[in-house]
Every structure is written in C-alpha cells, then in structure tokens.
Structure 1
Amino acid sequence: MAAILVLFLAASSAPSPIYVIYQQNWQFTAWVLTVVFALYVFGLLGSLLVVGALSDHLGRRPVLAAAIGLELVALVLFLVAGNIYVLAVARVLQGIATGAATTTLSAALVDLEPARGRAGVVTSVAPLTGLAFGALGSGLLVEFGPAPTRLVYIVLLVAMLAAAVIVARMPETSPRRPGALASLRPRIAMPAHLRADIIPVVPAMIATWALAGMYLSLGPSVAAELFGLRSHLVGGAVVTLLAGAGALAIFLLRSRSAAWLLGPASVLLGFGTLLSLAGVVAELAWLAAVGTVVAGVGFGACVLATFGTFARIARPHERSAVFALANIINYLGNSVPAVLGGIAVTVVGLRTATVGYALAIVAITFSAFVLRLNQVRMTTAVAPCT
C-alpha cells in the first residue's frame, strides 16, 4: 500500500521535466503551462473534498480500483497527447485519481496497522518521496532514454497495472456501511473557537505550497533558461531537491510538536527561498541548489507543523470539515500563485517573474513567523492569569 501511494505521487510529478519539451513542441506560453499544472491541483482538490470519505462506506478496494482505472486512462492520454488540450484533460483526470487514491490508501494503511505509529509516518513521508522519485526518474528517462515524451508513461502504465493486480488480491480492510451518497457532500468549516489557532498558520501553508507549485511548474524552465542547464535530468533534480529534502525533514522531525516546528520551519522556508533567489540573481546554480535544499527542509517542517496543528486543535467530530479547509488552503496556495507566476513570465519575462515570485514567498513566510511570535507572546501573557 505504501508503494502504491508513492507510485501515484511519482506519476503526478513525472510530467514536470517534460513540460519544457511540450512547450517547445507545441509553442504555448508559460501561463498556459501553469494553467495545466493548476488543472491537476483543482482535480485533486475536488476529489479530496467529494470522494475523500467514500471508501469508509464502499470499502477500500472498490475506490482504490476506480482510482487506478482513472489513472490508467490519464496515462494513456499522456502517452498519445499531441496538443495541450489532451494534456490538460490528462492532468485533470490524474488529479481526480490521485485525490481518491491518497485518501483511500492513507485510510487502508491505518486499517492495516491501527495500533502503531508507522502508518502516520508513511502517509506523511510517502507523498513527498513520490514527488521526488517521479521527477528524478522522469528526468533520467527523458534525458537518456528513447521517446522522451512517452517512455516514462509506458513505465508508469506497467507499474500501475501491477498496482491493480495487488489491489485485486488485497484483503478488504473496511466493511461496507450505508451513507455513501451523503459522504459525497463536501464539509468545510473553520469553527469560531479554532480561528485563533488556524489563522496564524495560514500564511505558512500558502507560502509552503506556493513554493512547491513554482518548482513543479516552472522549476525546470528556470534551470534551462536562467542557468543554461538544458539537461532534462537537471529539470527533474530541481523538483527532487525540494521534495526529497522535505520528505527527509518530515521523517527526522516527526516526533517534534507542531507548536515547536512552526517558527523554525517558516525561517528555513524563507531563508532557503532567499538563497535560491540569490543564486538566480548571481547566476550561481550551486547556490540555488543549496537554497532549494534549505527551503525543502522548511517545506517538510511546515507540512508537519501545519497539519499537526489542525490535528491537535480539531475535535473528533470537526476533523473532516477542518481538514477539508486545510486542503483548500494548501491547494489554492499551490495552484493560484503558480498560474499568476506563469502570467507574469509571459508579461515580464522568466527572470523578473521568478524574482517577484520568490520575494512574495519570503514576505509571506516572514508574516507567518511574526504571527507565530505574536501567538507565543499572547499565550505567555495569558498563562499566568490561568
């Protein structure tokens, strides 16, 4: 189950190193590229909100089988895509499939090992690990293999077919129960008593996922056009440095409390982004790479801190709606800035847009840090009175 979770996320990042080739072959602008990226995010978000709880009623196997089937259709469309429209449809279907699969696989992992903590670690680390493996593996195949826009999808098709066989043979871990149709209604909420805890973490969530959106959509273009690194392997490595460092940070920091992590995570995210920006301005690829690793550690720490905060403050009957809100914030932060960045690239050029995007992320992370300091100060001031 853990391997299938990694596979789905690897498939989602696999197109990133190929975007540059699509753009060259089909002659579309940067904002179109980021819109295609955002379509995946919107499909993913819609799936999380609508079918996120469906496997609790229909069982894990049927929902997971449907997600794999939809992913297979998306991969076939990637394989035969000859224009941006087919690519866009493939990304939407892939987003829907990934959203359904991640929630179902996370629940299945907990079903399989409810009394131990490994399921939680896997569901935290696997998504970023998958993003890292997918981008790096795709970059390798595009750079050194034949059929650069197709081979990676053939490999993923074979792997996804193997996943389908595994799911067909797996035991059902959740019995059917009524309420499937009712579970399709999205539930989103920010209870009034939680606002004081939620609002301070929102800037960190936006900055974290905006940075990920930038790397996944425009990162390979920055490496190719601003640093002259035309190798598609480098395009994949750009994403891998960020996501891989994030996955490692989640694993190493998993025992830290969310309250302790939020401040340092914001600092690392902002500082790493500044280092990467300095590398872009000075045209020093090694400095940008170091900044990416530092930002990646901040990325992983922020993911732990923000989701840990939501898990800590939400009461059991509120968790579904509150985590739906968290997903909306994260994925809007992931997609909307990326689209705006793509428009900016078209209007002012890649270098200027990259500098503006990075400075905006730094400003947001600074506000997150200030809000966290203010929250600590308020808590300290109230404590003696209680």
Structure 2
Amino acid sequence: MAASSGTSGVDTLRSVPEARSVRTAATGGGAARWKIWLAAWPVTGVFVLSNMPTPLYPLWKQRMGFSSGTMTIIFACYIVGLLAALMVAGRLSDRIGRKPVLLPGLLLAVAACATFATASSVLELAVARLLTGIAIGITVSVGMAAVVDLGGASWVRQATLAASTAMVLGAGLGPLSAGILSQTLPEPTVAIFLVEIVLLLSAVVAMLCLPLPRPGADANGGWLRLPSVPTRNRVQVALGIAVFAPGITSTSFVLSLGPSLLADLLATHNRLVAGGMAFMMFAAATGVQFAVRRLGVRSILLGGLVSTAASMAALILAVHVSSATLLIVAAVLAGAAQGLGQFGGLSLIGVAVPPHRRAEANAALNVGGYVPAALLPVTAGYLGDAVGMTTSSTIFGAAMIAMAAAGAAFVGIRGREPINTASPE
C-alpha cells in the first residue's frame, strides 16, 4: 500500500508533476522512452481521424443540403459513440488487458474511414462519426492508460506528457492534412480516408509489437457501468474535469461550427483555412503542455481556466466585429485550455490512481468533459439556426466563461488539499 502524502496544502499539489519521476538507469531509460512513444503512436493515429472530417463538413453540407443544426448532430454522434465506449472500455481493459480492447478499437477506426470515404447521405456520415467516437472512446481511456503503464512509476510524468500530446497532436494533424488534400486532390473524401487507413494499419502493427501486460484488476462489479475511481481519488478526477470540460467544450464548438463561422466572416469556403485553424488550435494544445511541464498541477489547472475565459471573450468579440483573426485567436486559446486541462487531469490520475483503475479513471475524466462538449455545441448550432450565429455564439461564450469561473473557484478551494497517491482500492 502506498502511503498518502505527508504534506498538505498548495505545496502538495505543486509537487504532483515531480512525484515518482526519479530517473531509471541510462540503459533502461532509453528502452522506456522507446516503448512510451511507440505506444503513443496508435493514440495519434486514431486521433488524426477524430477531426479529419472538420474541413469537409462544408463540402458535404453543400452536396447534401443539411443545416448547421444537422451538422452539430453529426458531430454529436461522435461524442455519443465515445461516451458509450467509455462506459465499458476502461473497465474491460483493466480486467482483460489493454491490447485485446485496443486492437478492435483500431479496426473500428478503419471501418469508420471506409464509411466516410463512400458516404452519400447524412445517415452514413452519422454512422461514420458514431464509429469514430467508439474508436476514440477506446483509445482515450485504454490507449492513454497503456502509454502510462509502459512508463511505470519511474517515468510516469514523461509517459503522461507523451499520451496527452499524442492525443492533441493527432487531433490537429487530422484537419490540417484533410484541408491540404481536399484542396489538391480530385476526390478528397475518398483519398483522405485511404491515407488515414494506412496510418491506422501502421498503428495496429505498433500495438502488436508492444508488451502490454494485464493490469490485474479484481473481478468484482459489473462490466457495464459509469466509470468510477477509488473514493480517495475522486477529488483529483473532479479537479481535472473542472478544467478539461470547459476547455474541450470550447474546442468542440470551434470544430463543429468554426467552418461555418469562417465562411460567414471571410466569405470563403476554402477548406484549407478551416483545417489550418483546427490545426493551430491543437498545435497550441500540444505546445502548451511542453511549455508547462515543469509547473505544478494547480498552476496548470488555473491556467487552463484563464485560457478558456480568454478564448470565449475573443469568440464573442470576433462574431460581433466580424473578425476572422479574432476567431483564430479564440481557437488557439481554446486549444491551450483543452491541453492544460487534459495534461493536469492526466497528471493527477497518473500519480494518484492505482494502475488497475487507471483506464477507468481516464474514462471518468473524459465522460465529465465530453458530456458538455456534446450538448452545448449542438444547442448552440440549433440556436444559431433560430436566432443567428452571432447571438448563439455570444450566449455560448458567456456560458463557457461562467463555467470557467466556477471551475476556478473549485480549484482554488479543493486544489489546496493533499493529493493522495495510489491506493489498493
């Protein structure tokens, strides 16, 4: 049994990034790094698919004639699939092992690519997004836990950084590559997803090469349930959700409605512009994690909330003055907010939650983030159809600022409590 931290207050929370970060011997350290980054590749490969359709929505919208509200419903199908996978994937992998759950997730991503490539109706797009969501749900809970597992206690911080940045790097590369290819290839909706299938198959090979032992969870309880964590670790997960939720909800808004806003503000349907904006958003999410990796978790979490509020202020101003530049600033700040919330939450889980509950704790963190990320942008999309995107975006931005303020109050109060390390619960 690992003892609870003997310190308390702000100093304890600040010490979390450094906990268990003692270097292994040089010979073992190189092997650990190699395994960590190889395990991160499937996470990147699947997350490339997560946002790859973003620049293509205006093209599909033109071909199929659906509204902004319908577009957010298609986007929400992704989150429905993701949430469904989170209900079972983490617990299943904690019981039977990472690899038997991850490999089917990769194959579902391949099936989603094939469906996107041949889609000719809204229903097919919705099915493709649903399959994508399931694959992402498996990857975000199980794949990221596998990366941290391979890092072990000595490399938990490096492994957490690798898992978190692999996710946002893939999320940014998807729309950028789709934007470039869709402007240069004659059949972009086919070629783009064929390229992604090749990437996913390489991720399957990487996964087969990795030694991923079963974490050794007990067999008590049902297979399908809301993800949970040991009682002593609930504050850590709640702190992560308080920052991750407003951050990822803001990026979800940009991904689902950003192309339409750009078309209104710039009067252009250039898909490279939309893809480039999404890439910049997730490039910020990646870079900010490297920039803050030596800071304490409480500072990281508070920084994420400040970034969310600043992003939404920029969004509100952008739609009122019709500024594409401010919209891009809002996207970059939203990406930084998601990256900070994600890295802070995963850092707490990696240090505090025992390995046999880690994937389920990752799932709990993501359920807390993706529920508002599904509901609020859809609401904003339909509200925009009714009253206009300027009013809708203003209401959405104000709601996110309020959510960030509530999160800051929670982190300010509970973030001063001691952080308990892994227990056998």
Q: Do these two structures clear the TM 0.5 threshold for a shared fold by scoring above it?
A: yes
1:100: how far off?
Answer: 1.9
Pair 1:144 & 2:144 matched: no
Out of 324, 330, 342, the residue aligned to residue 291 of structure 1 is 330
Following superposition, the deviation at residue 198 of structure 1 comes to: 6.5
Measured in 1, the distance between the counterparts of 2:220 and 2:119 equals 34
Q: Say how many residue pairs are matched.
A: 378
Residue 210 of structure 1: aligned partner: 249
Q: Does 1:94 align with 2:94?
A: no
Q: Deviations over 1:296-347 (max 9, x none)?
A: 3233222233444556666778766654432221010211111111111221
Deviation at 1:374, TM superposition (A): 5.1
Summarize the alignment of residues 109-258 of structure 1 with structure 2, pairs less than 5 Å apart: 109-114=147-152, 115-116=154-155, 117-168=157-208, 170-174=209-213, 184-189=223-228, 202-258=241-297
Per mean C-alpha deviation after superposition, the further-off stretch among 94-103 and 77-86 is 94-103
Residues 108 and 186 of structure 1: CA distance in aligned 2, closer, same or farther (over 3 Å): same
Q: Does 1:305 align with 2:344?
A: yes
Residue in 2 aligned with 1:384?
none
Summarize deviations over 1:244-263 as a string: whole Å, max 9, x none. Answer: 10111112212322222222
Would the alpha carbon gap of residues 272 and 191 (structure 1) be closer, same or farther in structure 2, given more than 3 Å must change?
Answer: same
Alpha carbons of structure 1 residues 252 and 183: separation in structure 2 relative to 1, 3 Å: farther
C-alpha deviations, 1:5-62, integer Å up to 9, x for none?
1110011110111111111111112121111111111211221220224334444443
Q: What letter matches 1:101 in structure 2?
A: T
After TM superposition, the structure 1 stretch with the greater mean CA deviation from structure 2, 43-52 or 279-288, is 279-288
Q: Specify which of 274, 285, 290 is matched with residue 313 of structure 2.
A: 274
User: Aligned with 1:149: secondary structure?
Assistant: helix
- 2:100 pairs with 1:76: no
TM-aligned CA deviation for residue 236 of structure 1: 0.8
Classify the secondary structure of the residue corresponding to 1:128. Answer: helix
Q: Residue 64 of structure 1 corresponds to which residue in structure 2?
A: 102
Gaps of 5+ in 1: 380-386
Q: Which moved more, 1:128-137 or 1:292-301?
A: 292-301
**What is the CA distance between 1:177 and its match in structure 2?**
7.0
Amino acid at match of 2:120: G
Letter in 2 for 1:155: V
**Secondary structure of the corresponding residue to residue 173 of structure 1:** coil
Is 1:104 the equivalent of 2:154?
no
Aligned to 1:4: 42
The residue aligned with 1:339 is: 378
Measured after TM superposition, the shift of residue 133 of structure 1 is 0.5
1:17-36 equivalence runs, <5 A: 17-36=55-74
How far the C-alpha of 1:373 sits from its partner, in A, is 4.1
Which stretch shows the higher mean deviation, 179-188 or 86-95? Answer: 179-188
1 or 2 for the larger relative contact order (CA 8 Å, sep ≥6)? 2
Within the alignment, does 1:54 sit opposite 2:92 as a pair? yes
8 Å CA contact 1:206–1:330 kept in 2: the answer is: yes
Displacement of 1:227? 2.6
Q: For the residues of structure 1 that align with 2:215 and 2:360, how far apart are their CA atoms?
A: 22
Structure 1 residue 93 displacement after superposition = 1.2
When residues 165 and 233 of structure 1 are mapped into structure 2, their CA distance, relative to the original with a 3 A threshold, is same
Please name the residue that 2:20 is paired with: none
For 1:125, give the aligned amino acid: T
Structure 1 stretch displaced more, 10-19 or 325-334: 325-334
Change beyond 3 A, Cα 1:131–1:316: closer
Kept in 2: contact 1:210–1:333 (CA 8 A): yes
CA distance in 2, matches of 1:73, 1:83: 17
User: Is contact 1:203–1:368 with CA below 8 Å preserved after alignment?
Assistant: yes
Q: Per the alignment, in what secondary structure is the counterpart of residue 266 of structure 2?
A: coil
- Alpha carbons 1:139, 1:233 under 8 Å: kept: yes
- Judge conservation of contact 1:188–1:322 (CA < 8 Å) in 2: yes
Q: Does structure 1 conserve the Cα–Cα contact (< 8 Å) formed by 2:47 and 2:167?
A: yes
**In structure 1, C-alpha distance between the alignment counterparts of 2:290 and 2:182, rounded to whole Å:** 30
For residues 242 and 278 of structure 1, what CA distance do their matches in structure 2 show? 18
The structure-2 alpha-carbon separation of the partners of 1:166 and 1:351, relative to structure 1 and needing over 3 Å to count, comes to same
Note closer, same or farther for the CA distance 1:314–1:122 as it changes in structure 2 (3 Å cut): closer
Contact (CA 8 Å) 2:246, 2:369: kept in 1 or not? no
> Cα 1:297–1:149, aligned 2, differ >3 Å: closer, same or farther?
same
Secondary structure in structure 2 of the residue aligned to 1:230:
coil
- 8 Å Cα contact 1:262/1:302 also seen in 2: yes
Contact 2:93 2:359 in 1 (8 A): no
1:87 Cα deviation from its structure 2 partner: 1.0
**What is the TM-score of this pair, normalised by structure 1?**
0.86
1:43 aligns with 2:67: no
